[in-house]
Chain A
Amino acid sequence: MPEEYKLVLKYADQPGYTPDIECYLRHGGYEVLKKALTLPPKDLPDGKKKPPQEQIRDDVKTSGLRGRGGAGFSCGLKWSFVDRKSGKPIYLICNADESEPGTFKDRQIIHKDPHQLIEGMIIACFANDVHLAYIYIRGEMPEGAKLLNRALDEARAKHFLGKNILGSDYDLEIYIHRGAGAYICGEETGLIESLEGKRAYPRIKPPYFPAVLGLWMCPTIVNNVETLCNIKHIVAIGGAEFAKLGAPNNTGTRIVSLSGHVKRPGYYEIEVGKATVGELIFDPNFGGGLRDGRKLKAVIPGGSSAKVFKAGEKFRLKRKGPDGKLVEQEVDMLDLPYDFDSLIAAGSMSGSSAIIVMDDSTDIVAALANIAEFYAHESCGQCTPCREGSLWMSKALHRLTHGQGRAQDADYLIKIADNIPGGRTICAFGEACSWPVQSFVAKFKDEFVAKGAADEARRAKEMTAPVEQKELAVAQVAVQH
C-alpha cells in the first residue's frame, strides 16, 4: 500500500512542533548549514582543489532535483547557467508566490517550518556566492510574511544571517518582499520585474534569462520554496543518496496538494512516482475516495493550467518491461505514476503537484468557465493574443453558463485557444490559459455542444412565442446577469 514519505514535512505536523528557532534547533536545525559552511575543499586528481561551493552545486546536480514550482526544470542545471564571470553580484530569490489554483504546499512550509526554508536558502546562497537574497511572498499571505520576518530576525540573532556567518567569512542578507495579488508574479521574470518595483510584465527570453540578466540585470536564481527546502536535505544526505528517493529522473519527494471532491483533501508528501494518480485519489492513506455514491468525472493533475484527464481515459505509453526493454503499454489515467515524466508522456503535467478532483456532480462547462475567468483576470496584458484571447474565452464560457450559448461555441473556444500559445506570447501564461480550454473542450465536447444547442433551441422557441412571453424571457435573462 502506498504511503507518505515525509522529508520536507517531517516535523511540520508533529504535535508541539512550532515555527520558532528554538524548536527548529531542538530538531537538528541549522546543523546542515554548519556542515555546508565548514566543508573542506576537495582534492582533485590534477592537484587542484574543488571549493565547497562547487561541491554543493555538483551535489545538487547529482541529486537530480527538479524544480517544485511548476516547470520541473533541473535545479542543478539552472544553477549551472548562472553567469559567474560577469563581475556583477549574483542574486537569489525564493519564489513564495504560491498561486497556481489547486496548490497549497508552500503555505504549509512557510507557516509551520519557516526555518527549514531559510536554512535551505542560506545553503543555496552560499553555494552560489549570493550575498543578497529575497523571499517574494504573495500579498495574500500576511501571516506567512510576518512568520518569515520573525524567523529571519531569529536567524540573524543567532548569526546564521548577516556578516561573517558563524565565523565562516561568508555574508548574506535575506529580505521579505510582498506581492500584491497578481498571479503573473509567479512567472520568474514577472517576479523579477515586480521585485524591481514595476508592473509584473514578464521579460522576453532571450535575452533576459535570469541566470544572466535577472534582477537589476544581474545574474539571478529564482527557486521555489519546496525546491530550496530540498537543498538542505541534499546537502544533509548527499546528492547520490537523495537520488535514490523517488524514480529515475524524478528524484526526491513531492508534496501533493489534493483538493476537490475527495473525502480527505489535503497535502501529502510522497516519493516522486511512488503513488499513482488513482492511489492519491482513492487510497485511504491519501484522498480516501470520492464522496459516497459519486463517480469520478475528471482530474486536473498539476494545477489549473495542466490539461485535464477524463475518467477512463487511456494512454499508450512506453514503459520498461520485466526484461528491461521499453514496451508500449496501455495505461489508464488512474494508473499513471505521479511523477514529472509520466504525466508529460500522457499529454499533461504534474506542474505544481496540485490535483483537483471532480466527480459526476460537476458541471464541466461551469468548471472551465471558472478557470477561464481566473486567467482572464490574471493575464498581465502585455501580449495581445493572451490579453484578448483569455478574455474572449472567458466571455464565451460566461455566455455558455448563462443561457446565451451557441452550439458552435465549442469550436470557437478551440479556435481561440489554438491561437494563443506556441511562441505568440512572451511567457508561458499563453499556454497556461489555453491548455485547460483545449483539453476540457476536446475531452468533454458533447457537453459543451449540448449546452450551446439547448440555449439556441430555447431562444428559437422564445422568438416564435407570443409577445408577453418574449418580454418575460428578456426579463429573465436580465435577472441572470
Chain B
Amino acid sequence: MNAAHTEPIPNALRPQSGFAMPSALEAEVDELITHYPVKRAASLMVLHAIQEHFGWISQEAVEWTAKKLEVPPINIYELLTFYPMLRLQPMGKHQIKVCRTLSCALGGAYELHKHFCERLGLDAHKHGPQTTKDGKFTVEFVECLASCGAAPVMMCNDAFYEGVSRQKADEILGGC
C-alpha cells in the first residue's frame, strides 16, 4: 500500500459518541427552516445552531442535518470544509480569535497573537487554530473582523474586544 494512503484525510468528519438531538434544538431548527422556501438554504443557520449547542459539528450532526434538509450529506460536509467558522472537531472552551489583517497588523496584532500564544504555551508560528492541552483555550488568527479603527481587535467566543493591549489581553484571559 502506498504510504500516502495511510495518512489521515484532512478535514475528516469525526464521530460523536452518544449523539442525540435535544428537542429544543430540533424545534429551533424546524423554525429556521420556515424562513426559506427551499429547505437547503437553511443549512448555514442550522449548522450555526448545532455548533452553538455542541461546540462543533460531528459526522452524526452532518448526517442529521442532511436528512432534515433533504440533501445528500456531501452538501453539508462541503460547507464545513469551505466556511472557516464551522468546526470539525471540539475546540477550546474559550476561543480567542485575533484579527490578523492589515490595519490590525499595523496596530500590533502579531504581537498580541504572540502574547496569547506565549501565555498559553502555544506556538505563535504554527498555522491554524491551536488548543491548549487542558482544552480551555483555542487561539487563532482570523481575517479582518471589521473594526479596523480600533486595532488590534479580537473576539473571545461571541464577545468582541477593541484596542487590545497586553494588559487588556491578560484581563480577558483572567476573566475566562
Chain A residues with a Cβ under 8 A of chain B? 98-104, 106-107, 132, 138-143, 175, 177-183, 194-200, 216, 257-261, 265-267, 300, 304, 354, 356, 358, 362, 366-367, 370-371, 373-374, 377-378, 380, 481
Contact = CB atoms under 8 A, between A and B. Distances in A.
Contacts of A180: 44, 47-48, 79, 83-86
B151 A265 contact: yes
For B44, B71, B79, B148, the residue with the greatest tally of chain A CB atoms inside 10 Å of its CB is B148
Contact of B148 (A101, A194, A196): A101
A267 B149 contact: yes
Contacts of B98: none
Interface of B: 35-38, 40-45, 47-48, 69, 71, 75, 78-79, 82-86, 97, 100-103, 105-107, 125, 142-151, 155, 158, 160
Given A101-B144, A199-B78, A140 B155 contact: yes
Nearest to B153: A104
Nearest to A141: B146
Nearest to B103: A259
A100 B148 CA distance: 10
Given A178-B44, A194-B44, A265-B149, A358 B106 contact: yes
Given A103-B148, A104-B147, A143-B160, A181 B83 contact: yes
21 contacts: A101-B144, A101-B148, A140-B145, A177-B45, A178-B48, A179-B83, A180-B44, A181-B83, A181-B86, A181-B142, A182-B82, A182-B84, A195-B41, A197-B43, A197-B69, A199-B78, A199-B79, A265-B149, A265-B150, A356-B103, A374-B100
Nearest to B52: A142
A216 B40 CA distance: 11
Contacts of B158: 142-143
Contact of B41 (A181, A196, A354, A374): A196
Top 10 closest pairs, chain A to chain B, by CB: A180-B83, A259-B148, A181-B85, A197-B43, A259-B103, A181-B84, A265-B149, A180-B85, A197-B40, A175-B35
A141 B42 CA distance: 18
Contact of A104 (B38, B43, B84, B149): B149
A446 to B, nearest CB: 21
Nearest to A97: B146
A140 B86 CA distance: 12
Nearest to A105: B146
A4 to B, nearest CB: 15
A304 B149 contact: no
A103 B86 contact: no
Contacts of A98: 146
B79 A356 contact: no
Nearest to A185: B83
Contacts of B69: 197
A182 to B, nearest CB: 5
A370 B125 CA distance: 15
Contact of A139 (B48, B78, B82, B103): B48
Nearest to B80: A180
Given A101-B102, A106-B146, A194-B44, 13 more contacts: A107-B147, A177-B41, A180-B86, A181-B83, A196-B38, A197-B42, A198-B40, A198-B79, A260-B103, A260-B107, A370-B102, A370-B105, A374-B101
